[in-house]
Amino acid sequence: MFPKIEQFIKEREYFVGVTPSTVSGYRYTLCYLPSESPTQAELLEMILKLRQRGLKETSVNTVIRWTNAYLHWASGSDQKCGAGCHHPHLKMLREPKIILPTFTDAQVRKLVRWKPGTDYQKRLHMLLLFLLDTGCRITEALTLRVSEVDIDNMLVKLDGKGRKQRIVPFSSELRRALYRFIQDGKLIPQDLLFGTSTGVLWDRCNVLRNVKDLCRELGFDAPPRTVHALRHTFAVNYLRKGGSTFHLQKSLGHSTLEMTRKYANLSTDDLVAVHRQISILHTL
């Protein structure tokens, strides 16, 4: 890693307050840069090599987004990056419009009705219920403390991306499960809600493996982006039950409504059901 890039990462960490996961992302993506001050031609060559290596448009766009942030910082400009900037800049690739993966209703029922036996299984089941009921990100759930769960008012305070906190509601069904889980585990306010048996942070890679194993045990293959698919499932169900995109944006913690619209991929069955109700021919 070049010294100037290291300085950029340190300033983002200490002055802007980006999260540890973002710092890791910077280190992973900015290592592709050929130098501290790449030319426009070198940047284009870098993107070409990434595409030739098989990286998808979404992954390359992550590299582009953080590369542009570094290039703007390196230019010394105090203004927001825009038309007045003269430093090298990369355009985002056009991403394919794909349907985000979700769990089917039948699969959700299997996950919810699963009867865990061991303490470890109970923790995994509680995490699945929590993700399905709140739609939060996996990192938001894994870093959650017991003190941030308001059982009485059915509210939870989450630390989202960019250290932005938000309060989201949860159901009475989840409250019953949470109360029992906290009491049975003898958890105290400062404990991680989903901490390991030794009280440390549960590794998200282990969570992914555990969820996939459970899906196979229950008789189905986990959808792509398995853990994040729980969040997609929450979003689709939210809209299917009549929730607004605006309220969904607040629940998911998105900074823009455009980000939320990506989650609004109702299934073909949903469209068919609505069309049956609104078809002009149906009313004749």
pLDDT digits (tens, 9 = 90+) for 71-111: 999 999 888 888 788 899 999 999 887 777 899 999 999 99
State which residues of the chain have pLDDT below 70: 162, 263-284
Alpha-carbon distance of 62 to 68, in angstroms, equals 10
Q: Please state, as a whole number, how many other Cβ atoms lie within 10 Å of the Cβ of residue 46.
A: 19
Q: Which helix (H) or strand (E) holds 201?
A: none
Residue 189: both structure tokens together = 């306010």
> In degrees, to the nearest 5, what angle opens at C-alpha 256 toward C-alphas 133 and 193?
30
By DSSP bridging, strand 165-169 and strand 149-150 are: unpaired
Q: What is the pLDDT of residue 217?
A: 97
Q: What is the pLDDT of residue 108?
A: 96
- Residues contacting 211, CB < 8 A, separation 6+: 124, 128, 222, 226, 227
Q: What is the pLDDT of residue 46?
A: 95
Q: Which helix (H) or strand (E) holds 174?
A: helix 172-184
Domain ranges of the chain: 3-74, 105-273
Residue 257: both structure tokens together = 């409504």
The matching CATH number, chosen from 2.60.120.10, 3.30.930.10, 1.10.443.10, 2.40.110.10, for 105-273 is: 1.10.443.10
Q: What is the pLDDT of residue 274?
A: 56
Q: What is the pLDDT of residue 273?
A: 61
Q: Percentage of residues in the chain with pLDDT exceeding 90?
A: 65
**pTM to 2 decimal places:** 0.75
